[in-house]
Structure formats: C-alpha cells, structure tokens
Chains A and B, each alone.
Chain A
Amino acid sequence: MARAAAPRTFSDAKATYQTNSELAWWVFMRVSGFLLVFLTFGHLWANNMAFNAGEIDFDYVASRLAQPSVKVYDSFLLLFALLHGVNGLRYSIEDYIQRPQRRVAAKVALFTVAGIVFVLGVMALWTFSFTEMGDAVRALEP
C-alpha cells in the first residue's frame, strides 16, 4: 500500500507539514455551502417555480442574462458553486483514485474543465450583450 512516510518523532512531524490549505478548503466548503443555500434556492425559485421549467428556451435565457441584477446574482452563484463543487469533486478523487499518477491526472483534468467552464460562464454573463455582441456573434455563424 502506497503510504506517505509517516512521522514518528517530533522533528519528523515538524518537517512533514507545511500548509493550511486543507483547513482553508474545509472552512470554504462551509461558508460557501451556507451562501449557496440562498443562491441556489433563489435561482431555482426564479427559474423553476416562478417560471415553467418546461418552457425554457433561447429567448427566456437571453432575456434573463440581459438584466444586470441577474448578471451579478449569477456571477456569485457561478463562483461559489463552481469552487464548492470542484473542491467537492476533488475530495472524491482523493478518496477513490488510489494510484498517485492517475490521481494527479484526474485532478489536472478536473481543474482544466472547471477553468474552461468558468471562462465560458463569465463570458456568457459579462462579455455577451444581447443587442450588440449578440448580432456580432451571430454574424459569425456560417
């Protein structure tokens, strides 16, 4: 079984540890989780309860994303949910993938995907203007 060298003595122990990152992430999961209660439920309320989820289409989404308040709200949601969710997925990777190389590979893949998704999300929220950019983007279509 692959194991990190375990400290047996005082000085070993001092030499072994350096970071507080696991603690920081643990705290973040709780803080973000708490905020996400409001963010996700609000989001769900707006899109599923106050609206018929079965009728979601381009116009609905586009019109929503045109509102600045939605942009701000969804930005927070995106940021927290993504960080929270990705760190949660990382936990699963730590627990279920035991070969060190594969574990690293899985984490790299996860963080890459998460990075791309984050950029896409931010672009959709902020660089996209329904009136100006929209036409420009659409003009690119073949």
Chain B
Amino acid sequence: MQINVKIKRYNPEADARPYWAEYKLEARGSDRVLDVINHLKWEVDGTLAFRRSCAHGICGSDAMLINGVNRLACKVLVKDLGERITIEPIRGLPVLKDLIVDMEPFFDSYKAVLPFFINDDPPPPGERYQSAEDRAVFDETTKCILCAACTTSCPVFWTNGRYLGPAAIVNAHRFIFDSRDQGAAERLGVLNQANGLWRCRTAYNCTEACPRDIPITRAIEEVKRALLWRGA
C-alpha cells in the first residue's frame, strides 16, 4: 500500500533547526517501521540517520516517537499505524542528527543508581543459593534493554532532565529486590534525593512505552514503599 511518512529531520552540519520531511512510498502492512526507514535510507536518501542493530526488539537501539508514542521501530508494523506515519526522535535528550539522540545523560542516570551486583562476602565455591520465589520478585525488572523509551516518554523528564527517570529506577529495583544483594540502602539513598524517585508523578507513560512489557510504574511504586518502610 501507499504510505506517507513524515520524519523530523535535523542535520547539525546543514540545518539551523529541525524540519519535517515527507516521503511517499510503497510498503506492506507487515513491514516494520525499521524496514520503512531502512528503505528510505537505502533507496531514497542515504543521509537519513538513525540507530538500529538487532531488528527484533532485543538490543534497544531504535526507540523513536512514532505516531505520538514511544516505540522500537523494529517492533511496530505499518499495518498497526495506518497510511500516515510520523517519526520523531525521542524527547528530552539532545538531538544529534535526525533520529539519533545523545544517550549519555540517560546512561549517566542509569549509572547513578549503582546498577551492579553488590555483595562483599566472599562467594561460596559454587553458586549463592536463592529460592525460586526470591528470584521471581525482581524478574520483570531484569528484562530491561536500556532503550530509553520509558524515560523519554515521561512528562516529568521532558521538562526536568535532572530527574533520574524510570529506566534508572527499574534497574535499581532489579538489585534492591535481589535477595543476594547488599547495596539496597545505598541505592535507596540515591533515589531518595531531590531528582530521584520522588519526582515520579505516576503518569504511566513509561509503562505504556516499555517494549519489554515491564510494569514500570508498579516497580517504581514498590521502590517508593521500600523507601517509606525501610527501617532507617
């Protein structure tokens, strides 16, 4: 079918400000949006810039604002969008070129919550034991692929870039609720600060946007309660 694709483009070496470019092309309903922009890049305009790698929703490269919602370009099909497709870079991070944004602030926030396993006891010769129930508590938040779809869909983050954002909280949750980990107090301490957890206004955009179906707001609320009830 004939589709109409509008892409917000910006070339820092040529354009003073971003502008909308429109393309008409043939596509199949079963095409991914990634296929569509690949086609544009390969056949129509080689200068179009975006990130991609795995093409099936596992690497987190290609989060974009597609028809008003954050999604992975490789995980949404043309037939679910209709004939008019609008693509913009995700919001709240500096745009570097076309659909490519600066991910460094995002990763800085991620790193701020100490997103690594902390346990200073000498490990046993085999594995540390953990019951299946204890493992299940943080199962959902281990699925994060750091695509930033959540953080850049958050209305608080759009205007307040200092907010750590849902992705950082999700990754903190993954460790705070891991029974083997000993760093919960420090992570909660970080999240307790002005631009941490308490900036979340439960807008749920993050949960709707997450391509991994992580119940993000639920996780955030769990961390809020953990902070509230921790015996400090």
Contact = CB atoms under 8 A, between A and B. Distances in A.
Direct contact of A and B (CB under 8 A): yes
Interface of A: 1-4, 6-10, 13-14, 16-17, 19-20, 22-23, 25-27, 94-96, 98
Contacts of A17: 189-190, 192-193
B199 interface: yes
Contacts of B118: 10
Interface of B: 94, 105, 108-109, 111-112, 114, 118, 156, 159-163, 183, 186-187, 189-190, 192-196, 198-199, 224, 227-228
Nearest to A92: B159
Given A7-B114, A10-B183, A94-B199, A16 B105 contact: no
A4 to B, nearest CB: 6
**Closest 7 A-B residue pairs measured CB to CB?**
A6-B112, A17-B189, A22-B198, A13-B186, A95-B160, A6-B108, A95-B159
Contacts of B94: 1
B189 A16 contact: yes
23 contacts: A1-B94, A1-B161, A3-B105, A3-B161, A4-B162, A6-B112, A7-B190, A9-B114, A10-B118, A10-B186, A13-B189, A17-B190, A17-B192, A17-B193, A22-B192, A22-B193, A22-B196, A23-B192, A23-B227, A94-B194, A94-B199, A95-B159, A98-B161
Contact of B109 (A2, A6, A13, A22): A6
Given A3-B162, A23-B227, A95-B160, 15 more contacts: A1-B161, A2-B162, A3-B105, A8-B111, A8-B112, A17-B190, A17-B192, A22-B194, A26-B198, A27-B228, A94-B199, A95-B163, A98-B159, A98-B160, A98-B161
Contacts of A98: 159-161
A22 to B, nearest CB: 4
Q: Name, among B108, B198, B228, the residue most crowded by chain A CB atoms within 10 Å (CB to CB).
A: B198
A98 B156 CA distance: 12
A22 B164 CA distance: 14
Nearest to B105: A1
Contacts of A3: 105, 108, 161-162
Nearest to B112: A6
Contacts of B190: 7, 13, 16-17
Nearest to A14: B186
Contacts of B189: 13-14, 16-17
A27 B163 CA distance: 19
Nearest to A100: B162
Contacts of B105: 1, 3
B89 to A, nearest CB: 15
B91 to A, nearest CB: 13
Contacts of A4: 162, 195
Contacts of A95: 156, 159-160, 163, 199
Contacts of B156: 95
B161 A16 contact: no
A4 B161 CA distance: 11
Contacts of B108: 3, 6
Contacts of B111: 6, 8
A10 B159 CA distance: 29
B198 A13 contact: no
Contacts of B187: 13
Nearest to B157: A95
Contacts of A14: 186, 189
